[in-house]
Amino acid sequence: MKKQIMSIDRDGYCGAWYPHPQGSQKGIILMLGDSATDHLAVSGAKWLHKQGCHVMAMSPEPKNYGHHNYPLERFEKTIAFMKSQGCTKLGIIGASTTGMLALIASSYYPELTLTVAFSPSDFVMEGFYQDGKDGAHERPGEGESTVSWRGEPLPYLPFAYRHPEYWQRIKEEAKAGGDMIASRQMFIESEKRHPLQEEEMIKVERIRGKVICIGTEDDVLWDTCTYIRRMEKRLNDRRHYCQFESWLYEHGTHLAFPESMLKIILPIGSSLLIRMMFKAGRDNPKECRQTRVDIDRRLIKVFGQW
């Protein structure tokens, strides 16, 4: 698959451009995986090619999923490049932390008229590192937001715990629930210790076009369905410019991706991965798959109509 690598030094952002082989007026900014060139990003690009879209995969740095003061201005440069390639329709997709980032980016850049966020939050998270310090896979930053604007960190919800307790708590919660990773209780505790402030909330009312937020009740990373419902309420209480859709399911885990995308990521054993990672995947494999199939059907239709 043809690609063009983008670097921060040369282009102002870290990314990989995957043009559609037959050309298109549709372009998607995709944020999946640790790197713009890793297997997750390439698989997502292949799936989006099937939907008739050019793809710009983006990541904070090469092979680094940590998010700390990620400059939103990078999207401005990305959008300019995609327009120069003939994209007249621009959208963005993110999952988990990048689901949050997709919503934030769309709230700043009205050119993005399709926003798909898998398992997002409705607030700006505190910045975090995945640098292996003291043997911890992940740790919070110090006074850093996940994103910045014009050189200043956006206000954020602080994590309840600091390093090294942060990662110790995540491991304990995962072990107690029979999951590979879990942090839902940590986020609940974070809101108890620091009730969310208006300045920390994502301004979804500023987003243009269609917004699709996808979440499951059995998500053990955080309570994404509550966050999505709060976004709905926020929009009901404010003048807004988007067509907001919440796709909420009882089962599906944190990895509630379209089934056909998951099949590209793992042609053999995709369902097995979900069962290995999450107890909910082992307890309700049929229901989780039904969720992914339904998301697949609905999302393909969205791209066809966009």
Q: How far apart are CA 124 and CA 120, in angstroms?
A: 10
Query: Where do the domains of the chain lie, and which CATH numbers do they carry?
Result: 4-305 (3.40.50.1820)
pLDDT of the residue at 63 = 78
Looking at residue 229, its pLDDT comes to: 98
* Distance from C-alpha of 298 to C-alpha of 57, rounded to nearest angstrom: 23
Which pLDDT value is given to residue 100? 98
Q: Is the previous residue joined to 164 through a cis bond, with omega within 30 degrees of 0?
A: yes
What's the pLDDT tens digit per position in 71-102?
999 999 999 999 999 999 999 999 999 999 99
Q: Residue 271's pLDDT is what? A: 83
Give the per-residue pLDDT at 143.
Answer: 86
What integer pLDDT is reported at residue 268 of this predicted model?
79
* Distance, C-alpha 178 to centroid of its chain: 24
pLDDT for 250: 98
Per residue, what are the HEC states of 215-264?
A: EECCCCCCCHHHHHHHHHHHHHCCCCCEEEEEEEECCCCCCCCCHHHHHH
Per-residue pLDDT at 34? 85
DSSP element (H, E) containing 130: none
The widest CA-to-CA distance across the chain, in whole angstroms, is 52
Residues of the chain below pLDDT 50: none
pLDDT of residue 38: 94
